[in-house]
Chains A and B, each alone.
Chain A
Amino acid sequence: MSRAHQWIAAAMTPDHALRVLLILILFWVVLGAGGLLRPRTLRLVAHILFPLGAVACAGVAALAGIFLTSGHAPETMILPPGLPDLPFHLRLDPLSAFFLLLLGAAGAGISIFSAGYFRVGEGSAPALHCLQYHVFLASMAVVILANDAYLFMVAWETMALSSYFLVTSQHRIPEIRRAGFLYLLMAHVGALCILLSFGVLQGGSWQFTFDAMRGASLTPFWATTAFALALLGFGAKAGLVPLHVWLPEAHPAAPSPVSAMMSGLMLKTAIYGMLRASFDLLHVQFWQWGAAMLVLGLFSALFGAIFAAVQTDMKRLLAYSSIENVGLIFTGIGLSVLFAASHMPLFAALALTAALLHALNHALFKSLLFLATGSVLHATQQRSLGKLGGLIRRMPWVAALALVGTLAIAGLPPLNGFVSEWLLLQSFLFTPQLPHAFVNMLVPLGASVLALTVALAAYVMVKFYGIIFLGQPREANLSHAHDANKLERLGLGWLAGGCILIGVLPQLALRIAAPVTGQLLGTTVAPALSFWRIAPIAPEQASYSGLVFLAGIAGVFAVTFVLVRLIAHGRTRRTAPWDCGYPWQTARMQDTAEGFGQPIRHMFGGFFRMERDLPAADDPAPRYRIHIEDRFWRAIYQPIAHGVQRTADAVSILQGGRLSVYLLYSFLTLLVLLVFVL
């Protein structure tokens, strides 16, 4: 007993935090490999390995949280493996600790859900899933801890590959193979940009440790080049428009826990990378960087929200909503850079806090919703919103927990999504003070785009929840839907609990984010924490109390309920709903996902490329069809693809298939080289 206690105490002393974290990461890999002992049996994987992985996740989150709150100095470590001259460097500082906390907190919920989710006969063997899943987790943790470019890239590629295999676990379906290929392609284009960015960042020293990059002095041109490359690379991973095309394909293709991991966690490693590159390695030099990120972020947010509103597949809808949320996070980062480069560190800290908090919140509620779609998918075999409905009666647990996620992502108090969006709006209020003419008038308008996006997100989520869980079942087979099993409920409940906790006590989250803004900007918001409310700049300026909101609404709810019972009698008569005098209604006559998209298509027509088939009035077998496409696909990607194809065709003339011709090429090459040398 006392020995265990000592061991725990030793593990919790911050000096060993990095070491214990590495042990936990190694533990994940061991767990993953452990499944290979009995590759075809589900029991080992589901009952032992995934729950253990969840415990390790919780451990990572706890360690990172302790590190953040204790305020210890960054820890570094050098591990021998690596290139001959470049061993692996690792570093645990507040920024990485924050993202490890995010990874662990959301990962624990996803892992425990996965324990109940994966079934035999769905895609790859369970053990393979388990291996890829845990390698994916471990690689994300290493990305966050890496302190040199080499280890970072190794972990980054491991992350991309393991997630690729997870996405294509049902590789017998052609669309999934295609989605996987697109994902792999974009991941590598992004990785290439990141690699080039690191190449610029080393600044001629040829030292690829992050420590050397922090010290390198770059000319403005090269610094901006490095920033632009990093923005391209990390933006591609995060799903920033116009590099987002892989996201709505890959997220729906993957099994739901994997979608949750990719959307909730993997996108956040890109956010982490962007913060690391722009704040830590490049020390934020020009406000134009911030303006670029702000514009891209706002556009992505609006774009994602508009496209989410017209989707008819529940997982695609959530994927577009991820683009929206990543856009919001980038908006926060952009504002922060804008303020920081204009020497307004306090406001920069406010915007950065909003971005960090939104990253954490998104990890929680988006994982929750993706997992809920997984439960719905297992219960109904349906992903199309047009064939769902009324599941709140069949799946009360999933419906209740998904409602928490829905309200959170819609940005409603007293849940967590509201807190970060509120902070972001608060930081927009200070933009008129920016010392650049015109910028200080244009940026405030960004706040209205933000407000529009947030409110559109609420529209999208009402559609999402209302069509899936409310109303009447649109298909007969939905009456056989079953609720999620216990482990799945536990996973969903964990994430929903996180959403409520941060929403009601946002000061906890501010406390966790404070060391990060301290590290990156040298200042923090709301240094004096109040137990009941947050007031980021000053209480006279603005404050918000999630606790009062929850207590107020719940208190009035209870009092009203009792009073109504006292005043009015509580008699209730169950009848059929009012049918407007038309008794032949069926469940298929309810409002549809397309119906919800209609006002959006009408108002934001310029965003889409639409193809419509409207049958004639006398058509005996009418079929309505509407196909909506992303304009970027035709504007950017198809020309590039055609160009690549044409170049390949042109080059393929050289490839005649005759050995003698190939020998001639070699001979000619040698001749040319000789001419150069001589």
Chain B
Amino acid sequence: MRTISLVRQLGEVLVAVGIAPLFAGWIAQCRAWLQNRTAPPLLQPYHMLHKLFQKDAALATDASSLFRSTPYVLFGTMVLAAAIIPSIATDLPFARAADAIALIGVFATARVFLSLAAMDIGTAFGSMGARREMMVGFLAEPALLMVLFNAFLLFGSTALPSLVDGYAMKRSVVDPSVLFAAVAFLMVMLAENGRIPIDNPATHLELTMIHEAMLLEYSARHLALVEWASSLKLFNYACIGFALFLPWGIATHGSDGGVSMLIAVAALAAKLVVAGAGLALIESLSAKLRLFRAPEYLAIAFLLAVLGLLVHLLLGTSANA
């Protein structure tokens, strides 16, 4: 039993690490289709990683050890998050090591490390990117917390496995607050992962970039790890979203056996395909906002989540009365 769940845990992490670049590649492909461009091959991110791992790393003359160790820290935090998030099964040994709020902390750790590393060389773009990244971070966090507050009100827990199990218990519950929370979460997810309304992952136009500005000094194996970590971050966010709002298919507590795992993997794949296409659609339909519109964008996300909260509380009181 114990070994089975350990094996399951290891399998889940390997799946996450393995298919995260594929997810990024799928989004890029959908985007290209929607924009009438010839799509890059689906496996392009893997070729990219392979190429980067083969190259000589070019390091700035006085890069400190903080700069050199940050890619490994980033990768470590993202793998840890992947181990905690119940993307395939809820009965995982690591899943109880942190609840969703602590997960935000994991992402914050990664963000701070990357920002510090970006400031290490002392180029103008690095520090500017770091500052902008931290700004988006502190604007996004209240909204994300309110989303989790909504989830807590529904199921009395912020632990993702309990939430998924809770959904499985009362499948019929459709609370209107969930809808608000889901939209808010989607907006935060786009902002946190440097997607289009806030940042453009495909740009290298200096004045607008956030995430890419921080990576300018990274090359070869370091860059590969950072890129892999950021695709893993997007994958992790998607899986948090699935656990919060679309938990169908995840192997719940007590459902042992290979069949439920197979269903879970198939469900995850289906959800990722749909989610990737959806993300590409959103990115193709919207334009990048000016940086100082970012507070407004995230304020809308926050207000939506608060609305969800109030809707739940008001409906709850009227139902009780």
Which residues of chain A come closer than 8 Å to B139, judged between CB atoms? 455
Contact B59 A543 (CB under 8 A): no
Per a CB cutoff under 8 Å, which of B76, B96, B108, B128 touches A552? B76
A-side interface size class: 35 or more
Contact A459 B53 (CB under 8 A): no
B231 to chain A, nearest CB (A): 15
**B274 located at the interface, meaning its Cβ lies under 8 Å from any Cβ of chain A in the complex:** no
Contact B124 A589 (CB under 8 A): yes
Given known pairs A429-B149, A564-B221, the reply for A412 and B109 (CB within 8 Å) is yes
**A625 located at the interface, meaning its Cβ lies under 8 Å from any Cβ of chain B in the complex:** no
Given known pairs A573-B56, A575-B61, the reply for A552 and B80 (CB within 8 Å) is yes
Which residues of chain A come closer than 8 Å to B83, judged between CB atoms? 552
**B87 located at the interface, meaning its Cβ lies under 8 Å from any Cβ of chain A in the complex:** no
Contact A422 B61 (CB under 8 A): no
8 Å CB interface, B163-187 against A: none
Contact B60 A576 (CB under 8 A): yes
B107 to chain A, nearest CB (A): 10
**A569 CA to B224 CA, complexed, in Å:** 13
Closest to A602 in B: B292
Contact A557 B130 (CB under 8 A): no
Per a CB cutoff under 8 Å, which of B77, B128, B134, B157 touches A458? B134
Per a CB cutoff under 8 Å, which of A412, A441, A445, A576 touches B105? A412
Contact B122 A587 (CB under 8 A): yes
Closest to B72 in A: A557
**A321 located at the interface, meaning its Cβ lies under 8 Å from any Cβ of chain B in the complex:** no
Contact B53 A407 (CB under 8 A): no
Which residues of chain B come closer than 8 Å to A418, judged between CB atoms? 102, 105
Which residues of chain A come closer than 8 Å to B77, judged between CB atoms? 553
Which residues of chain B come closer than 8 Å to A432, judged between CB atoms? 153, 313
The stretch that binds A, out of B30-38, B112-120, B195-203, B260-268, is B112-120
Chain B 250-281: CB-based contact to A (< 8 A → 1; otherwise 0): 00000000000000000000000000000000
Chain A contact residues: over half helix, strand or loop, or mixed? helix
The stretch that binds A, out of B40-48, B241-249, B282-290, B302-310, is B302-310
**B127 located at the interface, meaning its Cβ lies under 8 Å from any Cβ of chain A in the complex:** yes
Which residues of chain A come closer than 8 Å to B124, judged between CB atoms? 580, 585, 589-591
Which residues of chain A come closer than 8 Å to B130, judged between CB atoms? 462, 466
8 Å CB interface, A440-477 against B: 440-441, 444-445, 447-449, 451-452, 454-456, 458-459, 461-463, 465-467, 470-472
Closest to B94 in A: A548
**A43 CA to B172 CA, complexed, in Å:** 76
**A390 located at the interface, meaning its Cβ lies under 8 Å from any Cβ of chain B in the complex:** yes
Contact B53 A448 (CB under 8 A): no
Count the A-B residue pairs with Cβ separation under 8 angstroms: how many?
A: 248
27 A-B contacts, Cβ less than 8 Å apart?
A389-B122, A410-B112, A422-B102, A426-B101, A432-B153, A455-B140, A462-B134, A466-B116, A466-B130, A541-B157, A542-B158, A544-B98, A549-B97, A555-B76, A556-B72, A557-B69, A560-B72, A568-B221, A570-B221, A572-B56, A574-B58, A577-B60, A577-B217, A590-B122, A591-B131, A595-B131, A599-B292
- A-B pairs, 10 with minimum CB distance: A471-B122, A591-B127, A455-B138, A466-B119, A472-B122, A556-B76, A548-B97, A552-B80, A448-B142, A577-B60
Contact A455 B96 (CB under 8 A): no
**A561 located at the interface, meaning its Cβ lies under 8 Å from any Cβ of chain B in the complex:** yes
Contact A413 B306 (CB under 8 A): no
Per a CB cutoff under 8 Å, which of A390, A411, A458 touches B122? A390
A353 to chain B, nearest CB (A): 16
Which residues of chain B come closer than 8 Å to A172, judged between CB atoms? none
Contact A413 B102 (CB under 8 A): yes
Contact B97 A572 (CB under 8 A): no
Per a CB cutoff under 8 Å, which of B132, B159, B216 touches A578? B216
A458 to chain B, nearest CB (A): 6
Chain B 203-237: CB-based contact to A (< 8 A → 1; otherwise 0): 00010000000001100110011000000000000
B298 to chain A, nearest CB (A): 10
**A545 located at the interface, meaning its Cβ lies under 8 Å from any Cβ of chain B in the complex:** yes
B289 to chain A, nearest CB (A): 14
Which residues of chain A come closer than 8 Å to B15, judged between CB atoms? none
**A554 located at the interface, meaning its Cβ lies under 8 Å from any Cβ of chain B in the complex:** yes
**B73 located at the interface, meaning its Cβ lies under 8 Å from any Cβ of chain A in the complex:** yes
**A392 located at the interface, meaning its Cβ lies under 8 Å from any Cβ of chain B in the complex:** yes
Contact A392 B149 (CB under 8 A): no
Contact A543 B96 (CB under 8 A): yes
**B28 located at the interface, meaning its Cβ lies under 8 Å from any Cβ of chain A in the complex:** no
Contact B76 A575 (CB under 8 A): no
**A451 CA to B301 CA, complexed, in Å:** 14
**B75 located at the interface, meaning its Cβ lies under 8 Å from any Cβ of chain A in the complex:** yes
Residue among B108, B111, B309 facing the most chain A CB atoms (10 A cut-off): B108
Contact A539 B59 (CB under 8 A): no
**B6 located at the interface, meaning its Cβ lies under 8 Å from any Cβ of chain A in the complex:** no
Per a CB cutoff under 8 Å, which of B60, B66, B98 touches A392? B66
Residue among A426, A455, A585 facing the most chain B CB atoms (10 A cut-off): A455
**A458 CA to B224 CA, complexed, in Å:** 26
**A425 located at the interface, meaning its Cβ lies under 8 Å from any Cβ of chain B in the complex:** yes
**B189 located at the interface, meaning its Cβ lies under 8 Å from any Cβ of chain A in the complex:** no
Which residues of chain B come closer than 8 Å to A603, judged between CB atoms? 295
Contact B96 A533 (CB under 8 A): yes
**B19 located at the interface, meaning its Cβ lies under 8 Å from any Cβ of chain A in the complex:** no
Given known pairs A441-B310, A455-B141, A470-B120, the reply for A540 and B159 (CB within 8 Å) is yes
**A303 located at the interface, meaning its Cβ lies under 8 Å from any Cβ of chain B in the complex:** no
Which residues of chain A come closer than 8 Å to B120, judged between CB atoms? 392, 470-471
A562 to chain B, nearest CB (A): 11
A84 to chain B, nearest CB (A): 56
**A567 located at the interface, meaning its Cβ lies under 8 Å from any Cβ of chain B in the complex:** yes
